[in-house]
Structure 1
Amino acid sequence: MKTGIIMFGALAGALAMSTSCTKKTEPTVAASSISKDQKTPFPGGAPITAADLTATPAALPTAPPPYNYDPYNPNISHAEYARFAWRQFIHFNSPAQKNGVDVAGKSPVVRGSIDPNRNFAASGASGFYQSGRTANSNFSSNQLVWETFAHRSELFPAGSAPKGNLATLDPEYAFQNVKVASTDARFNNLDENTQIGQNQIFFPKNGNTPSTNPQDDHIILFQAKVSPVEYGYIKSIYNANNPPTALELPPNGTDQGESVEVKSAWREMTPALIASGRYHTAEALYYYQENGQTQARVATFGLVGLHILRKMENYPTFVYTTFEQVDSLTTPDKKDTGLYVINLYDQLQYDASVPPETRPSAILNSGSNRTLVALPLAGAIDSAHGYDVVPGKFTVPSGFSGPIKVQNPPVATSAVYSVNSEVQLAMANTPEFKNSVWQYYRLVGLQVLPTNEDSSVTPATPNPLTQDYYLANIVVESSQPGIQLFKGGVKDPSPDKKEFTLLAKRGLPSILGVKKLPPNSDQLVMGGCMGCHGNAQYPRDKEGKGPSIFSFLINGDTMGGQGFSADERNESPGELSAKRLEYLTY
């Protein structure tokens, strides 16, 4: 049976979860750091210096002021938002606060809290995680702030309600198919093996050519986490027997904390990669089937992608920021890594607005110019329809497609490139970062508010908000156009055929019913991460519409107590196929 994609959302890969560490007691960026050329007082948008990198503790930047929506004279530039994104990265990737506990099964940190005595430079040591290990505990006391957030299976444990105060909660993971003892747990729990059910992504084991059976190669695994604010909010409204008919993640009318969602991507590591000092590494759980049972295992993984999503006053659709490790497409000596995807579908459809014989396109705004990029034709996922299929014979299940080489679309903006250079220079001039792993991570882009795509590439003034309109991370949203150059909405699965129908729509609004947005701006055809998460609605009506909550974690099943199922490292084609429906019914 042929299975199709009707194109979904890009940074949707973030299986996004809302979390938040934003409290009024958090350190904030000093007002004295405001740049003279800023049109609106926005400390988080000031140029980044060595002082930002070594601040102890690193400040969480305060929320940006309201955006004025003036395409000819915006009050906040894309570069200022990019600096804000970097300051968030610096804060959340700083060491978490230790609590002095060194006992098996017990958390050695104050979860969600930054260490007041260590900084971003300390967490960049290549042996950061390992140096916090002892013989007494299965946990390291050296964790990044976001790594201590609530895992999705803690937010929605299978068969029970979320429990306890996250700051003092011991990690304990309860899935539909396995329960991990707290004495076996790790803070990083890589329970997802697909990009929102659309594809799997691999590094070749030998050279840059896929193995005959892709499952023999090095897979990228994922996890989703939420901060204490969102965890506390969901816990306060949770009732499996009487789920709420509507909800609004903080900040809301009763909770002024901020929701932050974190999605991370991790690659299986070799000894050489670990020794390179170019990755943040940590022990992590992953899952295999042994003797007919799902079992947790532990291995060392390297962080290759990180989404940080933060909902703030005046930014009710979240601000989406995403970072990549720099070696995913080319090695340090400039060789092709061979990164590739296996799609869990073999047909691509577009909606009725795109005739079958027409090649649709995407308009990319770099901030300096606009470029028209042609997308693959509807139909089979093969070279004839515009895909970079790796030549050769491979063991790919029926109904799947690939291997397809991962491409990096020309979506980088000049503002993001400039700010990355600014941060690199600051690191190069700061002795504490001479051997830091953080030298090898870059901001990919960010989305701050929803908008429609630019209508053409002609020299009319582009909308500044369309910079990073097609936001995607090459290791979290890898299929093109599937979840990379995406815009629009989602068509629910056929209740009769139970076939995958994630449509590459180009015209259905994906931002619906969002409070606190200017009139008519909550009915936009948004692209990238925000467009995808704009489809994550609870509860959904028969038309597939509902209030936008921008969280793939919250649905009828999770609010009803069913929780999540842990993905096994090498699942059967049938199990993988079933995942395609999960994300559409959220």
Structure 2
Amino acid sequence: MKTGIIMFGALAGALAMSTSCTKTEPTVAASSISKDQKTPFPGGAEIMPADLIATPAPLPAAPPAYNYDPNNPNITHAEYARFAWRQFIHFNSPAQKNGVDAAGKSPVVRGSIDPTRNFAASGASDFHQSGMTAGSNFSSNQLVWETFAHRSELFPAGSAPKGDLATLDPEYVFQNVNVAATDARFNNLDENTQIGQNQIFFPKNGNTPSANSQDDHIILFQARVNPVEYDYIKSIYNAEKPPASLELPPNGTNPGESVEVKSAWREMTPALIASGRYHTAEAVYYKEENGKTQAKVATFGLVGLHILRKMENYPAFVYTTFEQVDSLTTPDSKDTGLYVVNLYDQMQYDASVPPGTRPSAILNTGSSRTLVALPLAGEINSANGYDVIPGKFTVPHGFSGPIKVKNPPVGTSAVFDVNNEVQKAMAKAPGFEKSVWQHYRLVGIQVLPTNEDSSITPKTPDPLTQDYYLANIVVESSQPGIQLFKGGVMDPHPDKKEFTLVAERGLPSILRVNGKAGFPKNVDKVVMGGCMGCHGNAQYPRDNGETGPGPSIFSFLINLDTMSGKGFSADERNESPTKLGVKRLEYLTY
């Protein structure tokens, strides 16, 4: 049986092909970095060296409401990009120590920033390692977000979330394994796929994949939530009678802000650790040995970071994502060979796309718009537009690849300019001469849902379509799948175990916005792309797209299973193709 993706409609975006089939038209746009603040928004001000060494680094206040006027936006994309960087600076600052140095006990005040240290301190290449002692399995040098609640603490298998997160010792309870307190680490890499669509690897020898991908260096993932979201779930949790609906803070009674962080980590070699270009940390990961899931510990390097923050006037979360700069090209300009193996081998479009024709995506950089042709339907192969790496490889039946990871031309002028602004600030700020943070860049930011630009003709584009197809190359790499993705997700043929990426404009498939503060007025729904488009499917309870709006929780962590006590299962580093095949439907079904 074939395992496939079905792409619906005119599909202005499932995934990018290459830039060889593109058409670009200029747009009339002001400079990407405006010096004229049109609204009181301190978080959007120019980033200066003083911002990098503020002690402690403040969390930027929520942006004001956006006015949705494409001809006169009150907040520019550059201002939002600076806001994204200020969040990165805050959450990647050191967490506050609590003075405890004992096996199995947390050495930090979880979720709290250290009032005496700053972002420069956490940029030391040995930051994590220098906090290790003989008495504890935990480093006392943690980033703020690393101390948030892991998804297995938010939803432990078989029990409710426990205690006060600030003082809680890390405890990881899964369906298939419990981690001993003395074996735990704050970084717990329990996810081995990009939301069930593919696995991603760095070749261990040069830039050519090994015959068996499991012999190469995999990227693993974890998801965490801040104390506000943790406390809210704890307050409403009832496994015997899950709530009929929920709304993450801020909501009508709780003004706090929910924050979720997803991080991507690569297996490290001694040379990469010694390079001083990565934030590294000891992390727990999982392997199958003798028929059982076993917890292991190794040093990993941070390569990707999503920060999701739900705020007043921004109820669909604001999505920001950062990458370490060496994923596609090494510091000496060599190709790394980064590749994916997809957990499917077919892609189909619906009848609105005539056979043999290519749909397309419209990318708005802020200074130009580009029409990008997408792959043909059918087999995931070179003939249909996928960069399949030639050679003899062991690819499980029903999977496809190895496929070279490419960076689609989605970058915006504003983000490029703000990244340069931050680099200049780092060059002038004390303590950043050898900081690992020099080697991380903002990829983009999505602030509010909108529909895709309708054409590339030189009329004023919607400013919100900058970063419309937001994707991180180490978190959303698959072509097809979740790079240049647009729409919602459902499974039309459960008996065949196929899943569908819904992308036809007007289908009631994702962000229902009517009546929600911060969304455009007189709009019932939008078909959003990228991170926000994918998360638009994450409702609780998930409706079928026709019976009415679901709550805007937009979190893949929350579903009937987790709210009923089922918890999560830890993914194994060497998981079998049979188990991996099941993951296609783990996140992407109603």
Q: Does the CA contact (< 8 Å) of 1:178 and 1:295 recur in 2?
A: yes
Q: 1:54-65 counterparts in 2 under 5 A?
A: 54-65=53-64
**CA separation of 1:533/1:103 partners in 2, compared to 1, >3 Å: closer, same or farther?**
same
* Alignment match, 1:526: 528
Q: Does the CA contact (< 8 Å) of 1:11 and 1:477 recur in 2?
A: no
* Residue 548, structure 1, aligned to residue 552, structure 2: yes
* Residue 571, structure 1, aligned to residue 575, structure 2: yes
Alpha-carbon distance in structure 1 between the residues aligned to 2:40 and 2:513? 30
Q: How much does 1:512 deviate?
A: 1.8
Identity across matched positions, percent? 83
Alpha-carbon distance in structure 2 between the residues aligned to 1:213 and 1:544? 44
Q: 1:293-312 counterparts in 2 under 5 A?
A: 293-312=292-311
- Partner-residue secondary structure (3-state), 1:492: strand
**CA separation of 1:522/1:298 partners in 2, compared to 1, >3 Å: closer, same or farther?**
farther
TM-score, normalisation: structure 1: 0.94
**CA separation of 1:11/1:386 partners in 2, compared to 1, >3 Å: closer, same or farther?**
closer
Q: 1:19-418 counterparts in 2 under 5 A?
A: 37-418=36-417
TM-score, normalisation: structure 2: 0.93
Q: Does the CA contact (< 8 Å) of 2:12 and 2:503 recur in 1?
A: no
* Residue 539, structure 1, aligned to residue 537, structure 2: no
Q: Does the CA contact (< 8 Å) of 2:499 and 2:589 recur in 1?
A: no
- Partner-residue secondary structure (3-state), 1:101: coil
Alpha-carbon distance in structure 2 between the residues aligned to 1:569 and 1:420? 34
Q: Does the CA contact (< 8 Å) of 1:492 and 1:544 recur in 2?
A: no
In the alignment, structure 2 segments of 5+ residues that lack a partner are 15-33
**TM-superposition CA deviations, 1:149-190 (whole Å, max 9, x none):** 000000000000001010110000000000011111000000
**CA separation of 1:11/1:292 partners in 2, compared to 1, >3 Å: closer, same or farther?**
farther
CA RMSD of aligned residues (A): 1.8
Alpha-carbon distance in structure 1 between the residues aligned to 2:481 and 2:369? 21
* Alignment match, 1:500: 498
Alpha-carbon distance in structure 2 between the residues aligned to 1:76 and 1:336? 38
**CA separation of 1:472/1:523 partners in 2, compared to 1, >3 Å: closer, same or farther?**
same
Letter in 2 for 1:537: Q
Letter in 1 for 2:588: L
Alpha-carbon distance in structure 2 between the residues aligned to 1:210 and 1:71? 46
Q: 1:511-522 counterparts in 2 under 5 A?
A: 511-513=511-513, 515-516=516-517, 517-522=519-524
Alpha-carbon distance in structure 2 between the residues aligned to 1:319 and 1:236? 24
**CA separation of 1:36/1:370 partners in 2, compared to 1, >3 Å: closer, same or farther?**
closer
Q: How much does 1:194 deviate?
A: 0.1
* Alignment match, 1:3: 3
Q: Does the CA contact (< 8 Å) of 1:63 and 1:312 recur in 2?
A: yes
* Alignment match, 2:23: none
Letter in 2 for 1:527: G
Alpha-carbon distance in structure 2 between the residues aligned to 1:371 and 1:11? 12
- Partner-residue secondary structure (3-state), 2:40: coil
**TM-superposition CA deviations, 1:237-278 (whole Å, max 9, x none):** 000000011000000011100011100000000000000000
Q: Does the CA contact (< 8 Å) of 1:194 and 1:200 recur in 2?
A: yes
**CA separation of 1:243/1:7 partners in 2, compared to 1, >3 Å: closer, same or farther?**
farther
Alpha-carbon distance in structure 1 between the residues aligned to 2:583 and 2:546? 18
Letter in 2 for 1:449: L
* Alignment match, 1:19: none
Q: How much does 1:489 deviate?
A: 1.8
Alpha-carbon distance in structure 1 between the residues aligned to 2:55 and 2:77? 27
Alpha-carbon distance in structure 2 between the residues aligned to 1:136 and 1:93? 25
1:562 to 544, 562, 566: 566
Q: Does the CA contact (< 8 Å) of 2:138 and 2:184 recur in 1?
A: yes
- Partner-residue secondary structure (3-state), 1:580: helix
Q: 1:418-429 counterparts in 2 under 5 A?
A: 418-429=417-428
- Partner-residue secondary structure (3-state), 2:418: helix
Instruction: Spell out structure 1 runs of 4+ moving beyond 4 A.
Output: 7-12, 542-545
Q: How much does 1:549 deviate?
A: 1.6
Q: How much does 1:493 deviate?
A: 4.7
Q: Does the CA contact (< 8 Å) of 1:350 and 1:504 recur in 2?
A: no
Alpha-carbon distance in structure 2 between the residues aligned to 1:544 and 1:405? 38
Letter in 2 for 1:248: E
Alpha-carbon distance in structure 1 between the residues aligned to 2:157 and 2:554? 22
Letter in 2 for 1:241: E
- Partner-residue secondary structure (3-state), 1:432: coil
Alpha-carbon distance in structure 2 between the residues aligned to 1:522 and 1:119? 44
Letter in 2 for 1:539: P
In the alignment, structure 1 segments of 5+ residues that lack a partner are 13-34
Q: Does the CA contact (< 8 Å) of 1:163 and 1:235 recur in 2?
A: yes
Letter in 2 for 1:112: G
**CA separation of 1:383/1:256 partners in 2, compared to 1, >3 Å: closer, same or farther?**
same
- Partner-residue secondary structure (3-state), 1:491: strand
- Partner-residue secondary structure (3-state), 2:265: strand
Q: How much does 1:400 deviate?
A: 0.2
* Alignment match, 2:24: none
Alpha-carbon distance in structure 1 between the residues aligned to 2:201 and 2:37? 43
* Alignment match, 2:485: 486
Alpha-carbon distance in structure 2 between the residues aligned to 1:449 and 1:230? 20
* Residue 456, structure 1, aligned to residue 455, structure 2: yes
Q: Does the CA contact (< 8 Å) of 2:60 and 2:86 recur in 1?
A: yes
Q: How much does 1:349 deviate?
A: 1.9
**CA separation of 1:251/1:204 partners in 2, compared to 1, >3 Å: closer, same or farther?**
same
Q: Does the CA contact (< 8 Å) of 2:488 and 2:537 recur in 1?
A: yes
Alpha-carbon distance in structure 2 between the residues aligned to 1:361 and 1:101? 56
Alpha-carbon distance in structure 1 between the residues aligned to 2:288 and 2:100? 33
**CA separation of 1:85/1:175 partners in 2, compared to 1, >3 Å: closer, same or farther?**
same
What number of residue pairs does the alignment pair up? 564
Q: Does the CA contact (< 8 Å) of 2:285 and 2:295 recur in 1?
A: yes
**CA separation of 1:398/1:142 partners in 2, compared to 1, >3 Å: closer, same or farther?**
same
Letter in 2 for 1:296: A
* Alignment match, 1:15: none
Q: How much does 1:495 deviate?
A: 3.1
- Partner-residue secondary structure (3-state), 2:457: coil
Name the stretch that deviates more: 464-473 or 511-520: 511-520
Letter in 2 for 1:511: L
Q: Does the CA contact (< 8 Å) of 2:39 and 2:64 recur in 1?
A: yes
- Partner-residue secondary structure (3-state), 1:180: coil
Q: Does the CA contact (< 8 Å) of 1:71 and 1:462 recur in 2?
A: yes
Letter in 1 for 2:381: D
Alpha-carbon distance in structure 1 between the residues aligned to 2:110 and 2:168? 8
